[in-house]
Every structure is written in structure tokens, then in C-alpha cells.
Chains A and B, each alone.
Chain A
Amino acid sequence: MMSSPRRKLAELPIDARAFDLLSLTMALVLGLHSTHLPWWLSIALALTLGWRWWQRRRQSGRVPRWLKLPLLALLTLAVIVQYGGIFGREPGAALAVGLLILKLLETETVRDVRVGISFACFALMTALLFDQGLIATVVVALGLLPALATLRALEPGQLPTSLPRSLLPALALSTAALPLALLAFLLVPRLSSPLWGAPSPNQARTGLSDSMSPGNFTDLLTDDHPAMRVNFEGAPPPADLRYFRAYVMWNYDGRSWRYVDARHVQARETAAIEVGSSIQYQISLQPTQQRVLPTLDVPLQAPAQARLQPDREVMADKPVNDQLSYQLRSALQYRLQPVLDERSQRLGLRLPTGFNPRTLALAAQWRERYGSDNAAIVQAALNLFHDGGFRYTLAPAPLGRNAVDDFLFDTREGFCEHYSSAFTVLMRAAGIPARVVTGYQGGYWNKYADYLLVRYSDAHAWSEVWLTGRGWVRIDPTGAVRPERISLGAAAAAGDQLAWYRNDWLQGLRNRWDIVNRWWDQGVIGFDALRQRGLLTPFGIRDTDTATLGVLLAISSVLFIAIGLAWALLRRQPRDPLRGALRELERKLARKGIARRPAEGPQHYLSRAARALPGQRGELARLMRSYLELRYAHDEPPTEPLRAFLHAVRDFRIGNVVK
């Protein structure tokens, strides 16, 4: 019975304002997704959107079907060609954005717009699957404004406003909804394991790799996104001790160093350690899609859900797909593996045969010269790097088959990978057990918030050699060439090879801005099931389970609904002091049984009251006269007599009534 007119309402055509706002929403969605869409698709979609907007401004009407269907086919084809399928995060998002823009071509009625806006909200959310940083989230949230404004513009019968002003009510609505949203965010129970397949780890940023060949750090060293942030208990270690170990690599094939997972080979025992001093700290690691957890120097034990490897690296049980925080205690002064077992000895000396003859010769020459003094050989190698005309550069010349030979005797330029690799080969050739360690070194100490920010560009590679009586000793050959690489970090070492945007003051701003990012990453992105369970710890509840969360969510929602209802039901009566005073007088009289009848005017009522209360007759008559005077003789009651009347009413007392 009621449905037919309502169905007609949804079929009503839309006006230009609603269409403009819808186009704005879609442009925003497209802009947000253009960071990962192929550029030609972004441009094509933007042109389609602009053309449709222009076309509808001139003449409203759907785009003909013969144009729509080929475009749809073209879009699907483009996505398949680009991504090789339509399933998955990237192709799915590309298809969604494309369909959204094509939906605009047939948008003419209220229903079309509503479908388009719902879909746009979903597409806005998918943009966050690619980047959930603070700025991206804020921009996406701002994208809700034109979406909500579009929905408002669909309603007929509005007071006219300008286009920018029509966004303001949407902003007000979202702002008012923000407390409830935050509460829901805190209390919506998180899933401890996903309901269906976790997102494919298809991150562009890979972090450290479990193999190292000359040149594969280059991308990493120019990527200054945060890799991890470290909080120390107490003072941070001095700059030259900020080595974060990730992979310990034994295997060298002449070209690259490779980490071998302990699961895949016959297990060795975890290396013993004698600890001099240690430090407690917490690392929050950005997702790497890898299992390795970098640790400051040598950790004493593994954190939860991770295991200590033979060489005291830490591997998580699962790849780190989300931000992860872990607490550790590490040794700063230590003797690692004071006694080298026979197998480690063999591994630490193994070199591929038939490579780098000149290097082997140089090592043999050193061995001859220094005899059994391993420390002297180490020093000789460092001296070679320091005085041999070596140069630190992020763009070294390519190396041939005998990579270490080429590097040591010909090119003499490179960065940490080259130095640590060449040094380790030299050591092994000289008969000193050695291995390559990769990880991070340095970092930026944020003195405003007391934490160490380690970027991908702080990735580093160094060597460890085993010396009798000292165990594994860290030797950083890069430091011999460029000491500031160790004290100031990779950026300073690279000198003028860096882009303009890395200059000092900008870097300072970026470092400060990182505090906000850290807060966002820890407080919002990293708020997982585990953190949620500890939510109520300050209130004495150590483990907040799902049921408790549900109850809390329900209670606080009710609270918010009550606040909202109070606002909705609030009726501000226009303040009328005269009327208020009369009401007060009525109340006083009503207590004595003289209530005003619904249809009784003030004059009649007060005369009746005067008759009923002979003692107050004169006073009531005066009150009545001044009320009538104030009420009816002026548009606005004059101030002074009004005040007198209010006083008179307040002081009015009723004596004993004789009935």
C-alpha cells in the first residue's frame, strides 16, 4: 500500500548538486587508490570521470549502453592484463575503483547515487589495506565527508547552501560521532586468528633479506621508512654499540652470502654466552613478512612466540605480517661461544673453491707475516680498507666472477655489503673463523620522546670473527673506511649522493613527525587482540575476554545513546522571564488549591485568586495589573518594571487561607 510511492521516490532523478558531490567523492576515491593503480589506468579513469561530469552538466541522461558495456569489458581486460587475474588485493581494488567510476556513467536516480555512495565507502576502506598510516587514514576519513554530503543532497526540500558549506554538516556529524566511534574501536573484540585467508604478503617493502649479494642493499639503503622503534629501559647504549643483529650468514657460494634456517640443517646447540653487562629494551617492528626479529646485539633469550637460533638470532614462529612489539634483554659486553666446536670451526672457514685467487694469496701472505696472531691479521685487513684507497659509495661499479678480487684490487668502491663480504672472505682465507651478520646499525635518537627510530636505510652488514679467548667478535670493516657510517649513520656516510630532500632541517622535521607516526603505529595500528586483552589492566582486570568486552561495549553504547537521546530530546524553550514568573505565581497559588484552569486567562485567574484569598487581595490585584501591563502594553517588557514584577512574585507569600 505504501510501497508504490516510496519506490517512486528512489527512482526520482537527482539534481546537479548531488551529482557534483558524488563526482567529488569518486574523484577522492580514485586519488587515494592511484598510489597503487597503474598510472595509465588512473589517468583513464580520471578522464572518464571528468568526461561524465562535463557531459551531465550539459545534459542529464544515462550514457548509452553501447558505450557502457565495451568500457566494462575494457576495464576487466585491463585489470587481467595488468595483474593476471581479478582476485587478490591489487586487482580487486583496481576492479572496484574502475567499477565505481563506471557506475557514475549510469547514475541518474536517487537509488543509483545511494548504491554508488555505499560502494564508494567500501572502496575508501580498501584504500586502507594498502597504507594504514596516519595521513592515509585521515585522508580516507575526510573522504567520508563528500560521501555523507552526497547522501544529504539527495533529500528533497532543503534550505539552499553553497557546495563547500554543504560539507560542513557532514563534518559536524562525523565529529559528533567520533567519541562513539573511538569507543567502538577500543571495544570491538578483535579476532585472535583470521576467519579466512590472511592477506597475501605482497608488501613492496621487504626489509632485510636472508641472503646478501653485493648490490642488493641498494634499494634498502635509500628507503627511509621506519623499520622499527626501540625503547630502552634506562639510558640508550652509545651510538657505536647500536648494532641490531638479524641474520647470521655462514654460507658463501662465491657470489652471495646465505642464511640457512636451523630447521633445515642438522641442529647445532645455541651458542653459549658469558655476559658482562646487559640492557632491557622493547622493539616495535614494522611488518616485514619475514620471521626474523632484529635484536640489539646478542639477546639472552627469545621473546614469546619466537625461538633463539644457534647463533642467537631470533626467529618468530610466524612471519611478521603486522606490527609486532617484543621485549628483550641483550648483552652489551659478552663472550659469545668462548669454545668453538669443531663443526662451527669447519663452517666458519669454508670457502668455495676456484674463486678469488688474489684474495687467497693476500691472506696467505698475511698469515705468513703475522704467524698465529689472529688479531694482527684482523688489524691488517682493517688497515687495508682504511689506507688502501677504498671509497664508500652507494653506486659502486659492477663486479665480475671473482667478486672479492675485483673489489679488493680493482674497483675499491662499495658499501657495507662489499666490505663485510670481502673482509669475511679474507679472514676465512687466512684461517680465522668468520661470518657475515646483517641487521641494522645506528638509528635516530628521538630526544623528544626517548626512543630510537631505526629506518630501512639503517640496514647494515658487518662481520664476526672468532678469536681465541674472546669468542665471536664484531668487526665492522665499513667503519674502517667511513667511521661516520658508524657514528652518524648511513645518510651521513653517503655524503652528497643523497637527494635534496634529505637535508638537515627537513630531516629534523621528519624525525619529529615520526613521534606522531610512532604514536599512531603503536596506539592504533598495533592495537591487537593481545593489547585489547590488557586494556583493563589499570582497573585491575588483567585479562579482558571477549564476553567482558561485549558487555562493556553494550554498556557504553547505551551510555552514548543516552547522551545522544538527551541531546535529541532537549528542547530549548524560548526564555520568557515574564511567563516564568507567572508560572511561579501559579505554582504558589496552586499549592493553596487555586490552580489555573486550562482555558483561563491570567486576568480571570488572578481575579479569582484575589477573591479566594482576601488577605492578599490588594497584592494580587497589583500583580495582575503589572502583569497585564508588562505583557500587553509593550512588544518587549521594559527592564525595570519587569525586574520589579519578578521580585514581587518571588516575595509573594500566601498567608493562611480562610475558606
Chain B
Amino acid sequence: MRGMLQRIQRWAERRLPALTRYRRPESLPIELHRRRIYIVPSGFGIGFSALLAVMLVGALNYANNAALLLTCLLGASSAASMLVAFRTLDGVRLSHIRSGHAIAGQSIELTLAFDSSRARNAIRLDLADSHIAFALEANASAQVKLTLPTMQRGWQPLPRLRLWSSWPLGLFRAWSWLHPDQSVLVWPRPEAVGPSPHAPANDARHMRLHRGDELAALRDYRVGDPQRHIAWKASARHDNLMVKDFEQPQSRPQWQLDWRQLGGLDNEARIARLARWLNEAQAQRCNYSLWLPGDEIAGGSGPLHYARCMNALAQLP
């Protein structure tokens, strides 16, 4: 049954694009106007009109003109509420969409900015499984936050979102489909466990260069120390010889995360591993650089750098 409904819907979207929700993606800003706002009575509206019919027949039957007047007033108010429902959506503008960051499988946070020249109440927004209601003040922008589930890394186009309202009485339901031509970038999901990035770089890191340029400390003379390192003046004040200890400065570790070092894995596994390393590096606040095919990101740190690296990972083919 449900499958058939969906088939019918797909067919209708293909064949009757004007009537159905099908709209090609369009660029922001999107302004709602009469050609794209649809309106039907809600279930409550149908029930209420049945009640109005009962009241009408009753008033006519008992020739009670006061009751008839009341029924007419209620009916006319209901009809007028349809126009109000239309006006609630007419002229609403979706000006821009900002997205947060999320890794695949998590929900990404979207911020949609709506504005309008009039104040409006009770506009509702459905996007995938999230529903939200908001009001717009005149000549002001409303930031509507909602979440969108993500499946896999990379650019994910925004689905159609439905803006609807049953304002003011809930008797009519006006709606419009928006299909912004916009995508959100979903970061790759890091692998759960795996080797640490240190291994390939270990030897280089632990090589101690004794011949540095910087005077680190004075220490006792040991056999084999070069004569020219002896600090004669300092030694004169002590009982034994002091040697100037020159060392290469022990720098903060620079992680060089390199696509090429991860041979033997397929692309997605490489990406997942790099993502995990990026997370670790970010957690340890160290400096890291990332080399990817077609993209090389020099060393750096901080959330912006992290985001840049993750974006690059996410966009890998």
C-alpha cells in the first residue's frame, strides 16, 4: 500500500510537476508567492464544515434567523481564515542557509534565515524528520535552527523542505515546497580504532641532535666531551669541569599526516584513518599538516585549520 502510494507520488511528480511538490533546485533567496503556495482544508477544517452544515440546516429548519446569522458569520470567518492562511506564507523569503559541521551518520545543524516585510505567526517548517514552528517579525530576520541526518561524507544536497501553516484557525493548511540549490559538506567518519600516526615518524623524532646552536645548560664534564665545549669561566668557580650543553631545541611535535603513507588501504579506509588522526591531533593540540592527492595543507592548528583539513578530506573523490 505504502509502496504503491510512493510510486503514484513519483509518477505524479514526474508527470504533473506543477501540481506536486516537485520543484527543481533553485538558488537562494527564495520568495514564496501565489504560484507556489497550495492550500487545502485540514481534517479539522472538513469536520468543522460538516458542523457548519448541521448548524445551517438546523437554523433553516427551525426558521431561526438569529442562528442562521450566527452560522453565516462563523462560515464567513472560516472562509476568511483561508485567505489569512495564504497570507501567512505569501512573501516569506528564505534568504540564506548556514550549516554547521557533522560527521557522516550524525545530524548536521542547519540555520535557515527567513525574513518578511510583515509579521507572521505560526509558520512551520518540515525538513526530513525535523519539524519546527516559528514566527516572523516585520522587517526582521528569523534564524531557524534544525537538524538534518547525514549518511555519508561529501557534499549532500539539501532535501526539499516544506514550509506550511495552518494559521489562524487550523481549518486550512497552506504549504509550499522549497528546494534550495544548496548542499552541506559532511565530514568523513573517523575509524574507531587503528594505529597511531607516530610510527612512521618515530626515528626522526627521537634523533637527538647534540650539536645545536642554543646553550641549554651547564653540566659536569664527561669523558669524550669536546674541549671547546668546556665552560672555562664557570669551571673556575666549581670544583670540576663544566661543559656547555648545546642542544637542538626540542620542538613541539609536527604531525605530518600523509595520504601516501597509508598504502595498502582503500580510499575510504585511508580517509577514515586520516580523520581519526586529525581528531587526535586536534585533541592533543599539536601542529599538523595534511597531504592529500591534489591538495596539500601546510602545518597549523586550531579549529579553523581542523575544519579546513576535514573539509578537504570530505571532498576527496
Contact = CB atoms under 8 A, between A and B. Distances in A.
Contacts of B56: 188
Given A1-B2, A155-B122, A173 B84 contact: yes
Interface stretch (B127-135, B192-200, B307-315): B127-135
Nearest to A563: B83
A169 B119 CA distance: 13
Given A151-B168, A568-B86, A129 B67 contact: yes
Contacts of A176: 80
Interface residues of A, number: 61
B133 A156 contact: yes
Contact of A1 (B5, B54, B55): B5
Contacts of B167: 152, 155
Nearest to A154: B170
Given A114-B44, A180-B76, A568 B62 contact: no
A330 B291 CA distance: 114
Contacts of B170: 114, 151, 154-155
Interface in A149-183: 151-152, 154-159, 169, 173-174, 176-178, 180-182
B55 A121 contact: yes
B58 interface: yes
Nearest to B117: A574
Nearest to B83: A568
B10 to A, nearest CB: 12
A195 B61 contact: yes
Interface residues on B, range: 35 or more
B34 interface: yes
Contacts of B86: 568
Interface in A82-128: 114, 118, 121-122, 124-125, 128
A136 B69 CA distance: 12
Nearest to B165: A155
A95 B48 CA distance: 21
B79 A180 contact: yes
Interface in A336-360: none
Chain B contact residues: helix, strand, loop or mixed:
helix
Interface string A550-590: 00000000000100110111011010000000000000000
A525 B66 contact: yes
B134 to A, nearest CB: 5
A184 B91 contact: no
A331 B39 CA distance: 66
A193 B87 CA distance: 42
Nearest to A6: B43
Given A125-B55, A157-B133, A198 B83 contact: no
Contacts of B58: 125
A129 B64 contact: yes
B57 interface: yes
B201 interface: no
A121 B74 contact: yes
Contacts of B87: 568
Contacts of A196: 61
B65, B72, B167 pick with most chain A CB within 10 angstroms: B65
A157 B60 CA distance: 39
A199 B48 CA distance: 25
A525 B5 CA distance: 52
A141 B28 CA distance: 46
Given A524-B69, A571-B91, A322 B83 contact: no
Interface string B278-296: 0000000000000000000
B90 interface: yes
Contact of B76 (A157, A159, A177, A195): A177
Contacts of B119: 159
B79 to A, nearest CB: 7
A194 B72 contact: no
A123 B68 CA distance: 14
B254 interface: no
Contacts of A158: 121-122, 135
Contacts of A400: none
B166 interface: yes
Interface of A: 1, 5, 10, 114, 118, 121-122, 124-125, 128-129, 132-133, 136-137, 140-141, 144, 148, 151-152, 154-159, 169, 173-174, 176-178, 180-182, 184-185, 188, 190-191, 194-196, 198-199, 322, 524-528, 561, 564-565, 567-569, 571-572, 574
20 contacts: A1-B6, A122-B51, A129-B62, A137-B70, A141-B70, A152-B169, A155-B121, A155-B133, A156-B124, A177-B73, A177-B76, A177-B80, A180-B79, A181-B72, A190-B63, A526-B65, A567-B83, A568-B87, A571-B90, A571-B91
Interface of B: 2, 5-6, 9, 34, 44, 47-48, 51, 54-77, 79-81, 83-84, 86-87, 90-91, 117, 119, 121-124, 126, 131-135, 137, 165-171
Given A114-B47, A125-B67, 13 more contacts: A118-B51, A124-B70, A128-B66, A152-B169, A155-B165, A156-B133, A158-B121, A173-B77, A174-B73, A178-B76, A182-B69, A194-B63, A524-B65
